[in-house]
Structure formats: structure tokens, C-alpha cells
Amino acid sequence: MSLRPQVLLAWSGGKDSAWTLHALRQRGEVEVVALLTTLTREYGRASMQGVRREVLRAQADAAGLPLLEAEIPSACANADYDAAMARALGEAAARWPGLRTAAFGDLFLEDIRAYRAQRCAAAGWELLTPLFGADTARLAREMLAGGLRAGLCCVDTRQLDARHAGRDFDAALLDELPPGCDPCGENGEFHTCVRAGPMFSRPLPLLRGETVLREERFAYTDYALSAAA
């Protein structure tokens, strides 16, 4: 049995949570025992990224970890999210006695990190953000060099042109991002869906579907598992 501290990792299906898993495993100081994702009750998708439940489950399987699912309403107030997370943390603590640390892939937004720390503390948990403070331009290139492969599944068209929705997260995209757009999309410019990387035992056969505009702002591109998978 491992004597390392156990960690529950928040999982969106995107590059930052995936790279957080890779970073934690590389450092070897803690043991990630499970992934936790929040899904919209009505659609069964990751709340901001729009990643399908079956894709999230396939990612977790490729990562060799169980996936805990917390459901929230699509029109989610902070109180709804807080309650869902508190229930999920309670269930995780009951399943893994001694588990009291939650990791997130936050990069530099201090207010978001402080909010997570406050909510974790209220539930008797500690917060771990191993990528926080990283140079996001360097981090984005490091992800690509390390073998991470992902597609843009959501673009905020108020910050980035909708034509980028569905594109691969690659060097060409990074070269074309406009000034002021964070290379990792940390300000919400874009979100990604990961299909391959060093955190997975195998690449996922994802098919890119149509792109639709929602709320007259967010361009969502659907990614689904190949029927042959």
C-alpha cells in the first residue's frame, strides 16, 4: 500500500486537468486515487467544456482511474455547485478514508483559487494546485512537446474568433492566437477536450462533430467516441 498522501483530481476532460495529472504522477509526491467531474444533469456533459459523459469516462479509463460524477443543473448558481461538490467530497472521503486533498488545474487566476481553497476548507479538505503560477506560454508548448493532443471544444467568441472552434490545440494555433489571448485559455478564451497524452495508456478515437453557437456567445464543438472504439 502506498504511504503517499492521496489526492482527488478535479477533471474537466481538458488539457489543464490532464496535464495536472501528468505533473502529479511525474513528481511522485502524492497518489491520485480518482478523478472528479461535474456534469450538467440535463445534458450529461462537463459543465463548461461540454465534453460528453462517455468521453470523460473513456479518458478516466485510459488514465487508469475511477471517475466520480457530481451532477449540477445547467443553470447552475454558486450554491448549487458548492452543494454538489460538498456531497462529492463527502462520498470520496467515505470511499478513501484519509483522503482530504483535492487538486485542480488552475494556472493564475487568484480569485478562483482562493474560492476553491475556501470551499475545500469548509469541507475539511486541502487544496492542491501544482500548475499554479506557471508561465502559460511555456506551459502550452511543454504540453505539446510532452505528447498532449487535444481539440478546442468551446470558444468564447467575445474573446476569440469562432473559426478556432474545433481546431487542434497545436503549435499553429498558438502562433495564430491574437495578442491578449492566453495560450492556455486561462481567461476562458477557449476550452479543450484531450484525446491523447502521457497521462493516458492509449489515445482515444475521438470524432469531431458539428459546432453550434449557444447563448449567442459560446461556440461548442462536439467530440464523440468512434463507434469502433
**pLDDT at position 229:** 53
- Of 206, 209, 201, the closest CA to residue 229 belongs to 206
Tens digits of pLDDT across the chain (229 residues): 568 999 999 999 999 999 999 999 999 999 999 999 999 888 889 877 889 999 999 999 999 999 999 988 777 777 888 888 889 999 999 999 999 999 999 999 999 999 999 999 999 999 999 999 999 999 999 999 999 999 999 999 999 999 999 999 999 999 999 999 999 999 999 999 999 999 999 999 999 999 999 999 999 999 999 976 5
- Of 38, 49, 21, the closest CA to residue 201 belongs to 21
**pLDDT at position 2:** 62
CA dihedral 8, 222, 74, 156 (to 10 degrees): 90
Dist CA 32 CA 34 (whole Å): 6
Q: What domains, with CATH codes, occur in the chain?
A: 6-128 (3.40.50.620), 136-225 (no CATH)
**pLDDT at position 73:** 78
Q: Identify whether the C-beta of residue 69 lies closer than 8 Å to the C-beta of residue 37.
A: yes
Q: How many CB atoms lie within 10 A of CB 117?
A: 16
**pLDDT at position 3:** 81
CA dihedral 15, 11, 204, 165 (to 10 degrees): -50
Burial 161-190 (b: 16+ CB within 10 A, else e): eeebbbbebeeebeeebeeebbbbbbbbbb
Residues with Cβ within 8 Å of 76's Cβ and at least 6 positions away in sequence, in order, are: 40, 47
Q: Identify whether the C-beta of residue 162 lies closer than 8 Å to the C-beta of residue 213.
A: yes
pTM for the complete prediction? 0.95
Dist CA 204 CA 57 (whole Å): 11
